[in-house]
Amino acid sequence: MPALFSDQWVSLYGDAWNSDPELSGALAKIGFNSTIAYGFQGEDNPRCYIKVEGGSVTESGAYSGQPLSWDLRASPADWDKWMSKGLGMMSLGIAYTTGKLKFKVGDYTAMVKNPAMAGPFIKSFSAMGRVPRD
C-alpha cells in the first residue's frame, strides 16, 4: 500500500476524486479549477498536489513548487482520523478553529460560505479514505 501523500497515493486519490460524482460532478457544475496541496503541519512544503480542471483531477504528484490555490496541513494523526471517519461541516469547523486543519493557502471562510464548494470539500475527505495507505 502506498504511503500517505506519496506519488502513488495521490494518483489513486485523483482516481477516487474523479470517480465520485458528488465531488467531481458537483465541482464540474461550477467550473472549479484549482491546484490543491496536502501535507503535514510543521513542514516547509506540502507533500503532494492535485490539479483540478473543470472539477476533475487532471494532474497529480509530489509537490515541486507549483503555484497553489489551496495548501492544507494537519498532523498525521488528524489526517488518519478524518480519512477513516470522514468529516462533516461541524467537525470541519472545529478542526479549523482549533488549528488542527490549517489552510496555509486558500480562503477557508469563502469556501465554507459557498455550498457549491463546501459540500464537495467535505466529500474530498471521503475520497481520501477510499485510498489504501500504509
What is the rounded average pLDDT for all residues in the chain?
93
Domain that holds residue 111: 7-129
* Rounded Cα–Cα distance for residues 15 and 34 (Å): 16
Q: Is residue 1 part of a domain?
A: no
Task: Tell me whether residue 86 is in a domain.
Answer: yes
Number of folded domains that form the chain: 1
Residue 73 belongs to some domain of the structure? yes
Question: Tens of pLDDT along 11-51?
Answer: 999 999 999 999 999 999 999 999 999 999 999 999 999 99
The order of strands in the sheet holding 34-40 is 56-62, 48-53, 34-40, 70-74, 102-105
Is the pLDDT at 55 greater than 90? The verdict is: yes
The confidence score (pLDDT) of residue 88 equals 87
**pLDDT digit string, tens, across residues 90-113:** 998 899 999 999 999 999 888 888
pLDDT attached to residue 111: 86
The answer to whether the CB of 61 falls within 8 A of the CB of 48 is yes
The amino acid at residue 74 is A
Residue 112's domain is classified under what CATH number?
3.30.1050.10
Q: State yes or no: pLDDT of 74 exceeds 90.
A: yes
